[in-house]
C-alpha cells in the first residue's frame, strides 16, 4: 500500500478519534462520574438523594468493624490471647483502633457538647416519673445511691446530682453499641473485642491478607486450647479478595498466555497480536468514554460487565485477520472482502444493544450504550487502521487444513437438532429465578460458623434495616421522629423486640426541650431539688451554686450542637435540608418483623422503611425481568432489521444460532443449578453479540472464503472461552455463573456455526 | 555480694507475699466455711470531697444460690436490692446495674460456698493468708470490668468481713460485714431466711 494512503488512513483515524475526544471532553462531567453505590442504579426519584446519603452512613457503621470472640476455660488466658491478637492486628496495620476506645471518645465528646444544655434533656422515664410525683422520684434515686448500685453513681453527683443527665445519655446509647464485654457461656469464659479496620485494608485496595492472618490466629488459639471466632464486613471482603486474587493470578495468566500462543501459532504475526489487543482496548475505552459523556456517570458494575465487550470487539479483528490466510488475499482488497459481514454484524449488534436503553434502569442503559459505543469504536478501528497497519500473515502461516472441510448440511444435522430440542426443553422448565444478592458472593464455611457462634453468644440479630424520615423543616422532622420513637417505646412495653435510634434520642424537638426545662424549673422553684440535695448532706455553698446554675429562661438547643463531631455508631443521624425538605435516618435494631415495623410506620408518608438487602434483591429481580423482556424485544428488533436488509429466510437463519445458543446455555444452567439470575442473562448479552457475529460472518462470506471464516469463528470462540469461560471454575458464585453461561452457549454457537443452510447473501 | 543478698531477699519476699493465685485460692477455699446461705449486717461508707459527711449506709443482707443476694438498707433511708443472676431489682422494680450489683453477688456467692471459680475467671488474684485472717487483691482481667473498677480488696477469716472497691480516680467504697452467720441445712446460727 502506498505510503501516502497509509498516512491518510492513520491521519483519518487520528482525526476521528480527536474529534470524538473533543466532543467527549466538552461533555465530561465535573464531579464524581464513577458510581459505586447501589442506589444510583435505581430509576431517579426524589427519595434517591436521601437514600444514597442514609445508606452510606448506615453502611459505614459496620463496614470497617472487625469483631473477635475468644472462648476458653481460663478467663485470664482468654483475656491474654485476645489482647495479643489485637496487638498483632494493630502492629501489622490491619486495624488502627479498638472500637471501644473510639466509641468512648466519641461519647465523651458528645457528652461534653450536650452538657451545657442538660436542663433541656430528660430521659422519657424520668420525665414521666417527675410529672407524676417528683418527690417520690428523687427519693427513689436517693435510695439507689445508698445501695451498692450507687457506687457507680456517687462519683458523678457533683456534676449530675439527680442522675438525670446520666440516664438521658444511657437511654440515647444504642443497646448493641459496645462490643467489648465478657460473657458467661456455661462454664467457659468468653471475651469480645471489636476493632476498626484501616481503610487501606478494605476491599481490593488492601495490600495485605487479613484473611490469612485470621487463619493464623485461629490456629494459634487452637494450639493454646482456646477458640477464636471472627466476623465483620472487612473479613468477608478479605476472603473474597483472597480467593479472587488466587483465581486472577492463575486463571487470568493462563488464559492470557494461551490466547497469545494461539494467535502466534496461527497468524505468526506480532502486528496481528498488537492490532487485536489494540482493537479490544479501543472498544473498552471507547465504550467507557461515550457512556460517561452521554449519561454523565457510569456504575462500577457496568464497567465490569461492559468490559466483556472484549469478547465481541475482537471478533471483527479476527474476521479481518483470518481472511489474510486465504491464498488470494491482497492488502488492497482485504477490507472489501469482509466489509459486508463486518458492517452487518456491527450494525446488528449496535441495534440490539441500543434496545437496552429503552428500559428505565440506569444500569441497563449504561450497559447498552457501553456495548454499542464500544462495538462502533472497534469496528472503526478495524476498518480504518487494520488495512494500513497489517501487511499480512507471517512467513509460513497458512490456513489449517481442518478449516477447509465442508460444513454439515442442515439435513444431516436435523436429528441432532431435534435431540437438542428434546434436551433443552426440560432444562428450561427446571429454571427458577434467584435474586438474592447474598448468594452471589463466596463465604467460607469457617466464617459462616463464626458468625453463628458470635450471634448466638451475643444474642444479637444482624439488622441492616433503617427508617428514612423526612419533614418540612427541622422542627417538623424532629417531631415526626419523636412520634416514631414514642410509638416504638410503646411496642417495647407490649413485648415487641424493637429498638430505634435516631437523632432525637440526642436532640429532642423544641417542644420536648421546653417541656423538660419547665419540669426542671419547677423542681427548683418548688424546693424539691433543694430538699433532695439537703437530704444528701451536700455542702450548702455547693447546693446554692447548683440551684443558681439552672437557667431562668428557656433556650432551645439546635442540631448545630452536633456540627463537626463524629457521631457514635448506631445513633442514626441528621442528613441535612434541601429544597425545603429535611431528612434523617433512624437505625432499627432487634428482631422485629417487617410487619411490626410497617404497623409502627402506619400510613405516614414521611417515613420509609429501608431494607437494603431486600431493596437490592428487588432491584435485581426488576433488572432480571427487564433484561428478559429486552432480550426478546431486541431479538425481534434485530430480526426485523435483518429481514429488511436480507429477507426473511436469511434473517431467520442468522437468528437461529444466537437463539439456540441462549436457550441451550439456559437449559444447561437449569440442569446444573436449577436456578438462574440476572448474571446469567448479562452473560447472554455477550453470547448474543458473539453468536450474531458468527452467524452474519457465515452467511455473508462466499463459499471460497468459508475456510477463513471458519478460522475466524474458531479463534473467536477459543479466545472468548479462554478469557471468560474459564471463570466457570471460580469459587465466587456470581463469577462462575457468568462463566458457565458463556462457555455453554459458545459451545452450542460453535457447533451450529458448522451447519450450512444453503442460503447466501 | 550485696547484690546477691538483695536478690535473695527479693525472692523470699516474692515467694512469701505473692503466692501463685491458684495455690492461694485453694488454701482459702479450705479455710472458708462452706455454707448454702449466709446472712449478716453491713456498713457501707464512701468519702467525697463535696459532701460534708461520708456517704454512709447500713443494713442487713442475706445470700444463697437460689434466691440470690438480698440487700436491705435500713439507714439513712430504707431500700431493698435483690440480685438474682443478671436481674437486679430495687424496691421491686428493675434497675440499671452498671455492673456493681452482679459483681458483688458473684464474689460473695463464691466466697460463701468456698468455690472461687468465678473470681479466678474474671480477676487476677494476689494476696496472703495468715493464721487467722486472709487478704485478697483482685484486679479485673477484662476491659469491661476494668471500666467499672480499678481493683478490689477483700478481707476475712472464716467469712468475708470487708470489701474495699477502688474506682478510677481517688474514690473508694468500704463495706464492712458484721454478725455474719450461715443459714440453711447444717448451718450454725439462726435459721432465719431472707424475707
Its ipTM equals 0.81
Taking the CA of residue B156 and the nearest CA in chain A, the distance in Å comes to 19
What does the alpha-carbon distance between residue A301 and residue A391 come to, in Å, rounded to a whole number?
39
Chain A / chain B CB contacts < 8 angstroms: 107
Asked if B79 and A144 count as a contact pair (C-beta separation under 8 A), the reply is yes
- The set of cell numbers assigned to A434 is 434467584
Question: Residue B122's closest chain A neighbor by CA?
Answer: A75
Name the H helices within A582-705.
594-601, 612-646, 648-673, 678-699
Question: Residue A72's closest chain B neighbor by CA?
Answer: B121
- The set of cell numbers assigned to A280 is 479490544
Which pLDDT score, from 0 to 100, does residue A186 have?
Answer: 59
Nearest Cα neighbor of B128 from B11, B8, B12, B28 is B28
What does the alpha-carbon distance between residue A36 and residue A47 come to, in Å, rounded to a whole number?
18
Of the pLDDT bands very low, low, confident and very high (cuts 50, 70, 90), residue B7 is very low
Query: Please, which residues 188-207 of chain A have a Cβ atom closer than 8 Å to chain B?
Result: 189, 191, 193
Q: Is A297 on the interface with B (CB under 8 A)?
A: no
Which pLDDT score, from 0 to 100, does residue A202 have?
Answer: 58
How many DSSP H helices and E strands does chain B contain? 5, 11
Q: Is B79 on the interface with A (CB under 8 A)?
A: yes
If 0-12 CB within 10 Å is exposed, 13-18 middle and 19+ buried, where does residue B185 land? exposed
Are B50 and A542 a contacting pair at CB < 8 A? yes
- The set of cell numbers assigned to A571 is 445513633
What does the alpha-carbon distance between residue A549 and residue A118 come to, in Å, rounded to a whole number?
11
The whole-angstrom distance between residue A3's C-alpha and the CA centroid of its chain comes to 51
Selected residue with higher pLDDT from B52 and A565: A565
Which pLDDT score, from 0 to 100, does residue A46 have?
Answer: 46
Taking the CA of residue B73 and the nearest CA in chain A, the distance in Å comes to 7
Q: Is A536 on the interface with B (CB under 8 A)?
A: yes
- The set of cell numbers assigned to A412 is 444431516
Which pLDDT score, from 0 to 100, does residue A123 have?
Answer: 93
Q: How many CB atoms lie within 10 A of CB B52?
A: 11
Percentage of chain B lying above the pLDDT 90 cut:
22
Would you list the DSSP string of A153-187?
HHTTTTT-TTSHHHHHHHHHS-TT-----EEEETT
Nearest to B50 among A147, A149, A538 (CB): A538
Nearest Cα neighbor of B163 from B94, B87, B110, B121 is B110
Quote the Cα angle for A58-A61-A67, to 5°: 140
Q: Is A490 on the interface with B (CB under 8 A)?
A: no
Residues in Cβ contact with A565 at an 8 Å cutoff, skipping those fewer than 6 apart: A106, A109, A110, A113
Which pLDDT score, from 0 to 100, does residue A248 have?
Answer: 56
Q: Is A170 on the interface with B (CB under 8 A)?
A: yes
Q: Is B46 on the interface with A (CB under 8 A)?
A: yes
- What pTM does this model have? 0.73
Q: Collapsing DSSP states into helix, strand and coil, what is residue A685?
A: helix
If 0-12 CB within 10 Å is exposed, 13-18 middle and 19+ buried, where does residue A521 land? middle
H or E element that contains A61? none
If 0-12 CB within 10 Å is exposed, 13-18 middle and 19+ buried, where does residue A532 land? buried
What does the alpha-carbon distance between residue A679 and residue A738 come to, in Å, rounded to a whole number?
6
Q: What is the mean pLDDT of residues B6-30?
A: 55
Quick one: chain B helix, strand, coil %, rounded to 5? 25, 40, 30
What does the alpha-carbon distance between residue A533 and residue A547 come to, in Å, rounded to a whole number?
10
Query: Which regions of chain A are under pLDDT 70?
Result: 1-6, 35-47, 175-187, 199-208, 241, 243-256, 396, 406-407, 410, 442, 460-462, 591-592, 757-761
User: Residue B21: pLDDT above 60?
Assistant: no
Q: What is the mean pLDDT of residues B69-78?
A: 92
Residues in Cβ contact with A746 at an 8 Å cutoff, skipping those fewer than 6 apart: A661, A687, A690, A691, A717, A720, A721, A725
Would you list the DSSP string of A450-470?
HHHHHHHHHT------EEEEE
Asked if A279 and A382 count as a contact pair (C-beta separation under 8 A), the reply is yes
Residues in Cβ contact with A577 at an 8 Å cutoff, skipping those fewer than 6 apart: A473, A474, A583
Site from B82, B101, B142, B163 to mutate, A interface, most A CB atoms within 10 angstroms = B142
Residues in Cβ contact with A639 at an 8 Å cutoff, skipping those fewer than 6 apart: A651, A652, A655
Which pLDDT score, from 0 to 100, does residue B147 have?
Answer: 77
Residues in Cβ contact with A154 at an 8 Å cutoff, skipping those fewer than 6 apart: A145, B46, B48, B55, B171, B173
Phi–psi pair at B57, nearest 5 degrees: -145, 155
- The set of cell numbers assigned to A406 is 465442508
Helix-helix angle A678-699:A310-322, to 10 degrees? 20
Which pLDDT score, from 0 to 100, does residue A33 have?
Answer: 77
Nearest Cα neighbor of A177 from A269, A99, A109 is A99
Would you list the DSSP string of A126-159?
HHHHHHH-HHHHHHHHHHHHHSGGGHHHHTTTTT
Are B98 and A152 a contacting pair at CB < 8 A? yes
Residues in Cβ contact with B176 at an 8 Å cutoff, skipping those fewer than 6 apart: B42, B43, B44, B161, B162
**CA dihedral (B88, B93, B94, B100) positive or negative:** negative
Q: Is B74 on the interface with A (CB under 8 A)?
A: no
Nearest to A75 among B48, B141, B148 (CB): B141
- The set of cell numbers assigned to A425 is 426443553
Phi–psi pair at A227, nearest 5 degrees: -125, 130
Which pLDDT score, from 0 to 100, does residue A493 have?
Answer: 80
Question: Residue B74's closest chain A neighbor by CA?
Answer: A146
Q: What is the mean pLDDT of residues B176-190?
A: 68
Residue keyed to cell 462531567: A29
Of the pLDDT bands very low, low, confident and very high (cuts 50, 70, 90), residue B3 is very low
**HSE (side-chain half, CA atoms, 13 Å) at A759:** 13
Are A180 and B120 a contacting pair at CB < 8 A? no
If 0-12 CB within 10 Å is exposed, 13-18 middle and 19+ buried, where does residue A750 land? buried
Helix-helix angle A648-673:A678-699, to 10 degrees? 150
Q: What is the mean pLDDT of residues B124-132?
A: 87
Residue keyed to cell 444500569: A363
Query: Which residues of chain B neighbour A142 with C-beta distances below 8 Å?
Result: 77
**CA dihedral (B181, B186, B191, B195) positive or negative:** positive
Which pLDDT score, from 0 to 100, does residue A38 have?
Answer: 57
Q: What is the mean pLDDT of residues B85-107?
A: 81
Q: Is B77 on the interface with A (CB under 8 A)?
A: yes
What does the alpha-carbon distance between residue A4 and residue A216 come to, in Å, rounded to a whole number?
66
Nearest to A182 among B96, B142, B171 (CB): B142
B64-80 burial: b if 16+ Cβ within 10 Å, else e = beeebbbbbbeeeeebb
What does the alpha-carbon distance between residue A519 and residue A263 come to, in Å, rounded to a whole number?
85
Residues in Cβ contact with A69 at an 8 Å cutoff, skipping those fewer than 6 apart: A190, A191, A192, A228, A229, A230, A450, A453, A454, A457
Which pLDDT score, from 0 to 100, does residue A250 have?
Answer: 59
Q: Is B53 on the interface with A (CB under 8 A)?
A: yes
Q: Is A524 on the interface with B (CB under 8 A)?
A: no
Taking the CA of residue B2 and the nearest CA in chain A, the distance in Å comes to 37
Q: How many CB atoms lie within 10 A of CB A93?
A: 12
If 0-12 CB within 10 Å is exposed, 13-18 middle and 19+ buried, where does residue A494 land? exposed
Q: Is B176 on the interface with A (CB under 8 A)?
A: no
Domains of chain A from N-terminus onward: 2-30+238-441+615-756 (1.20.1640.10)
- The set of cell numbers assigned to A233 is 464486613
Amino acid at each position: 500500500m502506498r505510503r501516502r494512503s497509509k498516512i491518510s488512513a492513520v491521519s483519518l483515524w487520528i482525526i476521528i478519534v480527536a474529534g470524538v475526544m473533543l466532543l467527549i471532553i466538552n461533555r465530561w462531567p465535573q464531579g464524581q462520574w464513577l458510581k459505586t453505590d447501589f442506589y444510583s442504579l435505581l430509576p431517579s426519584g426524589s427519595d434517591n438523594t436521601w437514600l444514597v446519603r442514609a445508606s452510606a452512613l448506615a453502611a459505614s457503621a459496620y463496614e470497617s468493624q472487625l469483631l473477635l470472640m475468644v472462648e476458653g476455660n481460663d478467663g485470664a488466658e482468654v483475656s491474654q490471647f485476645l489482647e495479643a491478637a489485637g496487638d498483632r492486628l494493630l502492629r501489622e496495620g490491619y486495624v488502627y483502633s479498638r472500637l471501644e476506645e473510639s466509641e468512648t471518645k466519641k461519647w465523651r465528646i458528645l457528652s461534653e457538647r450536650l452538657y451545657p444544655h442538660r436542663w433541656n434533656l430528660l430521659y422519657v422515664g424520668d420525665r414521666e416519673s417527675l410529672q407524676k410525683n417528683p418527690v417520690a422520684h428523687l427519693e427513689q434515686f436517693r435510695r439507689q445511691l445508698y445501695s451498692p448500685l450507687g457506687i457507680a453513681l456517687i462519683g458523678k453527683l457533683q456534676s449530675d446530682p439527680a442522675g438525670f443527665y446520666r440516664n438521658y445519655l444511657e437511654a440515647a446509647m444504642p443497646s448493641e453499641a459496645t462490643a467489648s464485654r465478657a460473657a458467661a457461656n456455661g462454664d467457659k469464659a468468653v471475651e469480645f473485642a471489636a476493632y476498626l479496620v484501616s481503610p487501606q485494608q478494605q476491599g481490593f485496595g488492601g495490600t495485605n491478607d487479613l484473611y490469612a492472618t485470621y487463619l493464623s490466629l485461629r490456629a494459634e488459639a487452637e494450639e493454646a486450647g482456646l477458640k477464636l471466632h471472627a466476623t465483620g464486613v472487612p473479613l468477608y471482603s478479605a476472603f473474597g479478595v483472597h480467593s479472587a486474587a488466587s483465581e486472577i493470578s492463575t486463571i487470568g495468566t493462563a488464559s492470557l498466555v494461551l490466547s497469545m500462543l494461539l494467535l502466534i501459532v496461527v497468524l505468526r504475526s506480532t502486528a496481528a497480536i498488537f492490532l487485536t489487543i489494540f482493537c479490544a482496548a479501543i472498544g473498552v475505552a471507547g465504550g467507557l468514554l461515550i457512556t460517561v459523556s452521554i449519561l454523565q456517570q457510569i456504575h462500577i458494575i457496568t464497567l465490569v460487565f461492559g468490559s466483556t465487550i472484549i469478547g465481541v470487539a475482537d471478533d471483527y479483528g479476527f474476521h479481518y485477520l483470518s481472511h489474510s490466510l486465504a491464498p488470494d488475499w491482497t492488502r488492497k482488497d482485504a477490507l472489501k472482502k469482509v466489509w459486508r459481514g463486518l458492517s452487518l454484524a456491527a450494525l446488528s449488534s449496535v441495534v440490539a444493544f441500543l434496545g437496552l436503553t429503552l428500559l428505565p434502569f440506569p444500569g441497563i442503559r449504561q450497559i447498552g450504550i457501553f456495548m454499542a459505543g464500544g462495538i462502533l469504536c472497534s469496528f472503526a478501528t478495524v476498518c480504518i487502521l487494520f488495512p494500513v497497519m497489517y501487511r499480512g500473515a507471517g512467513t509460513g502461516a497458512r490456513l489449517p487444513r481442518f478449516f477447509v472441510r465442508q460444513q454439515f448440511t442442515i439435513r444431516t444435522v436435523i436429528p441432532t437438532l431435534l435431540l437438542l430440542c428434546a434436551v433443552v426443553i426440560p432444562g428450561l422448565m427446571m429454571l427458577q429465578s434467584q435474586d438474592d444478592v447474598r448468594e452471589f458472593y463466596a463465604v467460607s464455611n469457617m466464617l459462616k460458623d463464626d458468625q453463628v457462634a458470635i450471634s448466638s453468644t451475643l444474642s444479637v440479630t444482624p439488622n441492616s434495616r433503617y427508617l428514612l424520615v423526612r419533614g418540612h423543616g427541622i422542627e417538623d422532622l424532629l417531631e415526626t421522629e419523636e412520634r416514631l420513637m414514642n410509638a416504638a417505646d410503646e411496642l417495647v412495653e407490649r413485648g415487641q423486640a424493637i429498638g430505634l435510634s435516631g437523632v432525637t434520642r440526642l436532640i429532642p424537638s423544641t417542644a420536648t426541650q421546653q417541656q423538660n426545662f419547665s419540669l426542671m424549673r419547677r423542681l427548683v422553684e418548688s424546693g424539691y431539688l433543694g430538699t433532695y440535695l439537703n437530704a444528701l448532706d451536700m455542702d450548702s455553698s455547693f447546693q446554692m451554686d447548683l440551684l443558681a446554675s439552672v437557667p431562668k429562661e428557656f433556650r432551645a438547643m439546635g442540631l448545630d450542637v452536633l456540627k463537626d463531631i463524629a457521631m457514635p455508631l448506631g445513633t442514626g443521624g441528621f442528613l441535612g435540608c434541601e429544597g425545603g425538605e429535611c431528612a434523617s435516618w433512624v437505625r432499627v435494631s432487634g428482631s422485629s418483623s417487617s410487619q411490626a415495623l410497617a404497623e409502627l410506620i402506619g400510613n405516614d408518608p414521611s417515613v420509609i422503611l429501608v431494607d437494603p438487602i431486600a431493596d437490592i434483591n428487588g432491584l435485581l429481580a426488576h433488572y432480571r425481568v427487564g433484561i428478559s423482556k429486552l432480550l426478546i424485544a431486541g431479538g425481534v428488533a434485530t430480526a426485523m432489521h435483518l429481514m429488511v436488509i436480507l429477507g426473511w429466510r436469511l434473517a431467520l437463519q442468522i437468528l437461529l444460532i444466537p437463539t439456540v445458543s441462549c436457550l441451550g446455555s439456559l437449559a444447561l444452567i437449569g440442569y446444573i443449578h436449577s436456578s438462574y439470575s440476572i448474571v446469567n442473562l448479562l452473560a447472554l448479552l455477550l453470547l448474543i453479540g458473539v453468536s450474531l457475529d458468527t452467524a452474519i460472518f457465515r452467511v455473508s462470506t462466499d463459499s471460497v472464503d468459508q475456510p477463513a471464516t471458519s478460522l475466524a469463528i474458531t479463534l473467536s470462540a477459543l479466545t472468548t472461552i479462554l478469557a471468560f469461560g474459564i471463570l466457570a471454575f471460580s469459587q465466587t458464585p456470581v463469577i462462575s455463573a457468568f462463566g458457565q453461561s458463556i462457555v455453554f452457549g459458545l459451545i452450542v454457537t460453535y457447533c451450529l456455526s458448522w451447519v450450512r443452510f444453503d442460503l447466501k447473501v | 555480694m550485696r547484690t546477691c543478698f538483695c536478690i535473695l531477699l527479693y525472692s523470699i519476699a516474692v515467694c512469701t507475699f505473692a503466692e501463685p493465685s491458684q495455690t492461694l485460692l485453694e488454701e482459702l477455699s479450705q479455710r472458708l466455711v462452706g455454707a448454702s446461705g449466709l446472712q449478716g449486717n453491713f456498713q457501707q461508707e464512701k468519702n467525697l470531697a463535696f459532701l460534708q459527711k461520708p456517704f454512709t449506709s447500713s443494713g442487713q443482707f442475706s445470700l444463697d444460690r437460689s434466691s440470690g443476694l438480698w440487700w436491705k438498707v435500713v439507714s439513712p433511708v430504707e431500700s431493698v436490692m435483690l440480685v438474682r443472676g443478671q436481674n437486679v431489682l430495687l424496691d421491686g422494680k428493675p434497675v440499671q446495674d452498671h455492673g456493681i450489683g452482679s459483681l458483688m453477688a458473684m464474689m460473695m456467692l463464691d466466697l460463701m460456698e468456698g468455690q472461687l471459680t468465678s473470681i479466678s475467671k474474671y480477676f487476677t488474684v494476689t494476696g496472703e493468708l495468715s493464721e487467722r485472717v486472709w487478704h485478697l487483691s483482685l484486679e479485673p482481667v477484662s476491659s469491661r470490668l476494668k471500666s467499672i473498677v480499678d481493683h478490689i480488696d477483700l478481707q476475712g477469716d472464716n467469712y468475708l468481713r470487708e470489701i474495699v472497691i477502688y474506682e478510677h480516680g481517688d474514690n473508694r467504697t468500704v463495706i464492712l460485714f458484721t454478725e455474719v452467720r450461715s443459714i440453711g441445712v447444717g448451718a450454725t446460727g439462726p435459721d432465719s431466711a431472707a424475707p
